[in-house]
Chains A and B, each alone.
Chain A
Amino acid sequence: MFAGFDIALVIAGGLLAGLVGSLMGLGGGIIAVPFLNLVLGIPMHTAAAAGLVSTLCVSCSAAGRYLRRGGMIDIPLALRLELFAAAGGLLGGFLVGWLSGSVLQVLFGATMAYAAIHILRTAHQAPMRQDVTTRKSSWRMPASYLLCLVAGVMSGLFGIGGGIVMVPVLHLFLALPFKHATATSNFMMGLTAVSALCGFVARQQLDLAVSGPLAAGVVVGALAGAKLMPRLRTPLLKRIFGIVLALTAFEMARKGMTSW
């Protein structure tokens, strides 16, 4: 039976995911899914479905804030790229039904390791600025479409937002300023999560007792993260978070391999 203590733990996990996710520019799923699976022992597929709900919350609240601020989200570009990300999300959301929990844990561990390396590498880098005319280069748009498809599949498989792929695509390939790339990626994540969630709903893996409290925790955590952001030393935080993520990736992969 799901007790009050479990609900409190899920809310705490959501707060952590929302807080760290908004500080690091991630959807929150990459923190929420391992928390639910490793700490609370919730099956991997159920954790991934709840991760998608948390991504949906972060996307709606963050994109809502950016839209209100104005000029941060390139909506026409986001919707074009989202055609591919949503298709990828649909594919991933259904493909995950064929993967066992342990295979999913190993693959998720690998994705987390990639995210940890990405965060540690960019901890001290200033966001790049590129000439906006590079956006019109012939190969950049098709490559971006392909990478968004990959991000969508990852989102559907693991219950993450896919920001670790989408933000670099928008910033480095399509020359959006870093903050605009993060805002546009946040806007896109919600649509990808909706298309991916359908597969989980079909297999009855979206648990309401987990998703509701997690969603509320994530919304409050993301809001707190946005308020705290200007007062914190982000490079140090990124290094600490990168190391924690790498250790969690190792534990996730180890657990998956032992139960293979």
Chain B
Amino acid sequence: MVDSENFARKLGTAMLAGSFLGAFLSLLAVSALVVLGADLTPWPLGFDAWWQGNHAWLRFVAGTGILLLVAIPILMLISVASRALRARNWENLMVVAGLLTILALAFVLARFGW
């Protein structure tokens, strides 16, 4: 599927950079909130306005960091799917579509109830 080493290298760089960015964005925002004396318990990530509360911007950044981490494997799948589509590799495209369907199902179940 990923026949080009160049593509794999680019994908690897994006995943590595994304994981660092997501993790440290979240850490910096949480640390800033602690320094500012914000109450952080409980602070769950949900589908409603999880960033609401005091220092909403910092809360938004912290949540965005975690969401970025979640988005990395999904974006990786989409890029592999687009490559399979260009190569007309239907079998591999079907596998990726199946995976994206499972992830979409997980999201829908989480959003609208199990």
Residues in chain A within 8 A of chain B (CB atoms): 1-4, 7, 11, 53, 56-57, 59-61, 63-71, 73, 75-76, 79-80, 82-83, 86-87, 89-90, 93-94, 97, 190-191, 193-195, 197-199, 201-202, 204-209, 211-213, 215-216, 218-219
Contact = CB atoms under 8 A, between A and B. Distances in A.
Given A191-B77, A208-B62, A213 B110 contact: no
16 contacts: A1-B41, A2-B43, A59-B73, A61-B16, A61-B20, A64-B15, A65-B12, A90-B105, A193-B73, A194-B73, A194-B74, A197-B70, A202-B47, A208-B44, A209-B40, A212-B29
Interface of B, helix, strand, loop or mixed by DSSP: helix
B23 A191 contact: no
Contacts, number: 196
Among all A-B residue pairs, the 9 with the closest Cβ atoms: A67-B12, A212-B26, A64-B16, A64-B15, A216-B27, A60-B19, A68-B12, A202-B110, A204-B44
Contacts of B47: 201-202
B56 interface: no
Contacts of A70: 5, 8-9
B43 to A, nearest CB: 5
A206 B45 contact: yes
Interface in B16-43: 16-20, 22-24, 26-27, 29-31, 33-35, 39-43
A94 B70 CA distance: 17
A230 B19 CA distance: 24
B45 to A, nearest CB: 4
